[in-house]
A and B are shown apart, each in its own frame.
Chain A
Amino acid sequence: MQALCYQGVNRVGVETVPDPELLGPHDAILRVTMSSVCGSDLHLLDGYVPTMRHGDIIGHEFIGEVIEVATEVKKIRPGMRVVVDSIIGCGHCFFCQSEQYSLCDNTNPEPEFTDKLYGYPTAGIYGYSHAFGGFAGSHATYVRVPFADTNAFEVPEGLPDERVLFASDALPTGYMGADLCNIQPGDVVAVWGCGGVGQMAILSAYLLGAERVIAIDRFPERLAMARDRAGAEILDYEQVDVREALREMTGGRGPDACIDCVGMEAHGTGIDYAYDRVKQAVRLETDRPTVLRQAILACRKGGTVSIMGVYGGFVDKFPMGAAMNKGLTLKMGQQHGQRYIPRLLEHIRKGELDPSYLITHRARLADGQQAYDTFKEKRDGCMRVVFTPEA
């Protein structure tokens, strides 16, 4: 089959690789009908996540048709259209049983790296480096889905792929970001980053009862999308002092909840951003916490900071004093999509959510390099490029 593979820092290319096979009794094989690029792919391609190897198939946000299932798969049947969570849960360990699927004990076959780096290994993720299991990604004709009954969800009839695709990753990530904020009536939520996850966090915050959502970014087209499609008030951090603006917009209180949808490769305008760039370039810190610092300082006393943007290693000048003395609640994690996907599909079916506006570009796998370049440099108003592998 054809697959888009990692070929070195910021280099991808289509290669012919063997078709996936059923390896475990709970596996399914999918023909991929749509697979999206994701901001977290850029961390892999930029070389910030170690343990990527030449030939690794990338991609983790996908939808497809089941073509084969193994003996122990009970709910998922061949011919079903399914959306699959990007993070793999076994469904049986303590964490899966308590609906914290991204902490699954059993789905990372290469746990040594994260065991050492994080203290305990976390779940496997499709196409997301060998630290996260070394699973083949979804930018391919076919993909193998372990524990299909836990991780694949049937798409309700009549819903096109475009509307359901992002229930694989961006939507549950944004939704969890808002869910962790424990939003109360009257709450003002600030969202940093208006990429796919940020857009979904804005929509989700409204769904969960936020009074107002303020979105922060610097790209005019993304801010416009946040305003026009998701209904957020917007701030361009290159034009205004974000902390001062947020304070004034919230009657001097500060946002009740702040959601970081940016993560380790944040940009900024201040001296701290220059400092982080230098430290990251000489490998003295792995992640740039520009947004995280801002969110902690901007958040109201006793508020919640929810971290959904991906961090990989170590950050510097973390404002612990502000977090502690303001009594903040910090919540974070890779998404536990299996907890949210059924209710998200219901929202989509009822027309309360439509993430399809994130798709600004479509591409063939063969145009993968160009697609990722466009996405990375946000050329041509690019929000998300979606591959249709059979095309």
Chain B
Amino acid sequence: MHSKTPRLDDIHGIPARARKMNPLNVGPNERVVSAALGGGLVAWGIWRRGALGLLAGAVGGALVHRGVRGYCPAYAAFGISSRKAPKPTPMPLLETEKLTRIERTVTVARPAAEVYAFLRDPSHVPHFAPHVEGVEDLGEGRIRVWTVLNGERSSWEAHIDLDHEARAIVLGHAEGPPERLAILLGDAPGGRGTEIRLVLELSKTRGLLLRALAAVAGADPDAWAHAGLRRLKMLLEAGEIVTAGVWGHHPARPGGAPDRQPTGSPPAGSSP
């Protein structure tokens, strides 16, 4: 029996989306000092006039802004904070430099141990991951992933790191760019099951390229992550990936790889 899985945010840091929304990094005392000092500088600038006055006004204005908002871009650039509030723990598993990070989280009403057991078997991946056609286990923690995108078949080799303690699965290229895909698990509160966070780290260039492609060809990695997690949730909770099917005049579902039903019996919930 596994021990209780800790909360997702405690182990892996708060999600990027939440960090962006709440970027305070200046402590309360410093904010007051910053705003007061800035106000003083602005007043002095108005009194002094001339080039020096203008400069003082600009610097003062920036200090006031910093104090009022509680956010300092210079601090952010150096990754420091004078705020005592719990600092977001950087995700320990992955590098954050020069990468485009995509995160999506979903809650599945199944226990973490069960979800982890399902996910650590690479042969389950094609059942829910968009565009993944097959996964070949090469042994020694290495796999080959076959993907089909717009009719084009390609494959890449990856190494898998499993962290049994934190119930994290990290996939990285065996060769090539330091890009990674991580699946991180944590307990949802109140016995609501498992929070599953998918983190995709792409090189900045590839991230930009894919986002540009997303606009024209629908190859949006964020949409993949979202869709993949939804399908995973359906599979784990309901025991199948629900489809409306093809009927009437509709030649095919838009954006649709054909729906696959797993042949094995995934750990679905028991009948109510």
Which A residues are within 8 Å of any B CB, using their own CB? Answer: 3, 5, 15, 17-18, 20-21, 23-26, 53-57, 72, 74-75, 90-94, 96-97, 105-111, 124, 133-136, 144, 146-147, 149-150
Q: Assess the A106–B237 pair: CB atoms within 8 A.
A: yes
- CB B202 to nearest CB in A, in angstroms, measures 22
Name 7 extra pairs, CB < 8 A, besides A91-B269, A96-B272. Answer: A74-B271, A91-B272, A107-B238, A109-B253, A124-B242, A133-B242, A144-B245
Size of interface on B: residues with Cβ below 8 Å to A: 27
The interface bits of chain B over 215-251 (1 if a CB of A lies within 8 angstroms of the residue's CB, else 0) are 0000000000000001001100111111111011110
Say whether chain B's binding surface is mostly helix, strand, loop, or mixed. loop
Which 9 pairs show the lowest CB-CB distances between chains A and B? A55-B249, A92-B269, A55-B248, A90-B238, A134-B244, A24-B240, A106-B238, A92-B237, A106-B234
Q: Assess the A26–B239 pair: CB atoms within 8 A.
A: yes
- CB B18 to nearest CB in A, in angstroms, measures 16
Residues of B near A18 (CB, < 8 A) are 247
Q: Choose among B107, B245, B249, B271 the residue with the greatest number of A CB atoms under 10 Å from its CB.
A: B245
- Indicate whether B192 reaches chain A with its CB closer than 8 angstroms: yes
Q: Assess the A109–B242 pair: CB atoms within 8 A.
A: yes
Tell me, in angstroms, the Cα distance from A123 to B62 when the chains sit together. Answer: 50
Tell me, in angstroms, the Cα distance from A132 to B272 when the chains sit together. Answer: 24
Among B71-111, those with CB < 8 Å from A are: 107, 109
Q: Assess the A53–B250 pair: CB atoms within 8 A.
A: yes
- CB B266 to nearest CB in A, in angstroms, measures 10
- Indicate whether B205 reaches chain A with its CB closer than 8 angstroms: no
- A56: nearest residue on chain B (CB-CB)? B248
Q: Assess the A106–B244 pair: CB atoms within 8 A.
A: no
Tell me, in angstroms, the Cα distance from A106 to B266 when the chains sit together. Answer: 15
- A108: nearest residue on chain B (CB-CB)? B242
- CB A89 to nearest CB in B, in angstroms, measures 9
With A93-B237, A94-B107, A149-B271 known to touch, is A23 a contact of B245 (CB < 8 Å)? yes
Q: Choose among B107, B233, B271 the residue with the greatest number of A CB atoms under 10 Å from its CB.
A: B271
Q: Assess the A133–B234 pair: CB atoms within 8 A.
A: no
Residues of B near A93 (CB, < 8 A) are 109, 233, 237-238
Residues of B near A111 (CB, < 8 A) are 230
- Indicate whether B126 reaches chain A with its CB closer than 8 angstroms: no
Tell me, in angstroms, the Cα distance from A20 to B243 when the chains sit together. Answer: 12
Q: Assess the A146–B242 pair: CB atoms within 8 A.
A: yes
- Indicate whether B174 reaches chain A with its CB closer than 8 angstroms: no
Q: Assess the B238–A147 pair: CB atoms within 8 A.
A: yes
Tell me, in angstroms, the Cα distance from A18 to B268 when the chains sit together. Answer: 31
With A74-B271, A111-B230 known to touch, is A94 a contact of B193 (CB < 8 Å)? yes
Q: Assess the A17–B239 pair: CB atoms within 8 A.
A: no
- CB B251 to nearest CB in A, in angstroms, measures 10
Residues of A near B109 (CB, < 8 A) are 92-94, 97
